[in-house]
Amino acid sequence: MASKSPKLSFSPEVEAALAARRPVVALESTVIAHGLPRPHNLQLARKMEAIVRQNGAVPATIAILKGQIKIGLTDDELAYLANADGVWKVSRRDFPTIVIHKADGATTVAGTMIAAAWAGIKVFATGGIGGVHRGGHADVSADLPELSRTSVAVVCAGAKAILDLPATLEWLETVGVPVIGYGTNEFPAFYTRASGLRLEASAGSAVEVAAMINAKWAMGLEGGVLITVPIPEEAALPADSINQAIEQALAAAEWQGIRGKAVTPFLLAKVVEITGGSSLRANIALLENNARVAAEIARNL
């Protein structure tokens, strides 16, 4: 079947940037609607957009509002999304349902990749990708197969630390997704800079990353590229304490019978509670840093 794009609604800023072939960075909206508590979610959304602009690119926060697939949000739309209730969490399978029902949806990593590809945006900044959940490998995030099929470069701080990182990295290797360490030879562990998991590829600059991405796609190798950026040193958390908090959160999720899409938001919120807010501060710091790196890569792509 031929690839088709649905009707997209572009903000004037993003539409003008794409027409002029200026660098654009896609930003997800699940972190706004489901990932961070209010009012931190709106503050972070505005800050990430500002960082992208300060570093020479145009931000395109992606979401679905009243059934319209939005490529770039106005400030009023950001505020609406940050304060709305009943917002769907949108991955590949959910687009038709949300659009037909004219509902509001926040795009996950997978959902944002799809919409970015429809719009012709090649670089996307997020916090951490989804992956293989701990305690059995049947629960795999839709982010992983999306990375294998959709040609967008994703800048992140690795996979979320609540996941099984070795299994996630193995999954990415199996489906042929290049994982590039930005200034590191190790897979970052979200809240901490190191995981002990060595990477095959690393790059020391945005220029080098852009060359690697271009080389992949020039060879006709479709699918995403994962650029993993360690959390800034001053914001990183001690590995022992964060791992202990994650174990407590996992036990709470099991005890309460949390399943499916609810698992990740529950675990992240629980870890914030257990760490007294330090994990939230770390999450915000890595998101801001990833926005900066993504803008630099987009400028060089």
Give a yes or no: residue 1 inside a domain.
Answer: no
**Residue 19: exposure state from Cβ atoms within 10 A (0-12, 13-18, ≥19):** exposed
Tens digit of pLDDT for each residue in 62-72?
Answer: 999 999 999 99
**pLDDT band at residue 139 using 50, 70 and 90 as cut-offs:** confident
**Residue 298: exposure state from Cβ atoms within 10 A (0-12, 13-18, ≥19):** buried
Tens digit of pLDDT for each residue in 72-88?
Answer: 999 999 999 999 999 99
Residue 208: is its pLDDT beyond 50?
yes
**pLDDT band at residue 136 using 50, 70 and 90 as cut-offs:** low
Give a yes or no: residue 2 inside a domain.
Answer: no
CATH number of the CATH domain containing 12: 3.40.1790.10
Give a yes or no: residue 137 inside a domain.
Answer: yes
Radius of gyration of the chain (CA): 18
| Residues whose CB is less than 8 angstroms from the CB of residue 258 and which lie 6 or more positions away in sequence, other chains included | 266
Q: What is the mean pLDDT of residues 136-162?
A: 90
Give a yes or no: residue 197 inside a domain.
Answer: yes
Residue 250: is its pLDDT beyond 90?
no
Q: What is the mean pLDDT of residues 38-44?
A: 95
Quote the CA–CA distance of 44 and 127 in Å, as a whole number.
Answer: 12
Give me the number of domains the chain comprises.
Answer: 1
State the residue range of the domain holding 127.
Answer: 8-300
Residue 2: is its pLDDT beyond 70?
no
Q: What is the pTM of this model?
A: 0.93
Give a yes or no: residue 121 inside a domain.
Answer: yes
Longest dimension (CA), the chain: 53
Quote the CA–CA distance of 77 and 69 in Å, as a whole number.
Answer: 12
| Residues whose CB is less than 8 angstroms from the CB of residue 189 and which lie 6 or more positions away in sequence, other chains included | 158, 161, 165, 195, 239
Q: What is the mean pLDDT of residues 190-200?
A: 92
- Chain centroid, CA 102 distance in Å: 24
- Within a 10 A sphere around the Cβ of 56, how many other Cβ atoms? 13
Give a yes or no: residue 168 inside a domain.
Answer: yes
| Residues whose CB is less than 8 angstroms from the CB of residue 236 and which lie 6 or more positions away in sequence, other chains included | 191, 192, 193, 230, 282
Quote the CA–CA distance of 116 and 121 in Å, as a whole number.
Answer: 5
**pLDDT band at residue 160 using 50, 70 and 90 as cut-offs:** confident
* Tally of CA atoms within 13 A in the half-sphere of 247 that contains its CB: 6
- What the block records as the tokens of 6 is 């649905």
Quote the CA–CA distance of 3 and 13 in Å, as a whole number.
Answer: 26
| Residues whose CB is less than 8 angstroms from the CB of residue 43 and which lie 6 or more positions away in sequence, other chains included | none
User: Catalytic site residues?
Assistant: 28, 160
Q: What is the mean pLDDT of residues 265-294?
A: 91
Quote the CA–CA distance of 219 and 110 in Å, as a whole number.
Answer: 23
Contact 191, 120 (CB under 8 A): no
pLDDT at 1: 40
Quote the CA–CA distance of 261 and 227 in Å, as a whole number.
Answer: 24
Give a yes or no: residue 293 inside a domain.
Answer: yes
- What the block records as the tokens of 74 is 């106005």
Residue 244: is its pLDDT beyond 80?
yes
DSSP 116-153: HHHHT--EEE-S-B--BBSSSTT-B-THHHHHHHS--E
Contact 298, 132 (CB under 8 A): no
Phi, psi of 125 (to 5 degrees): -110, 130
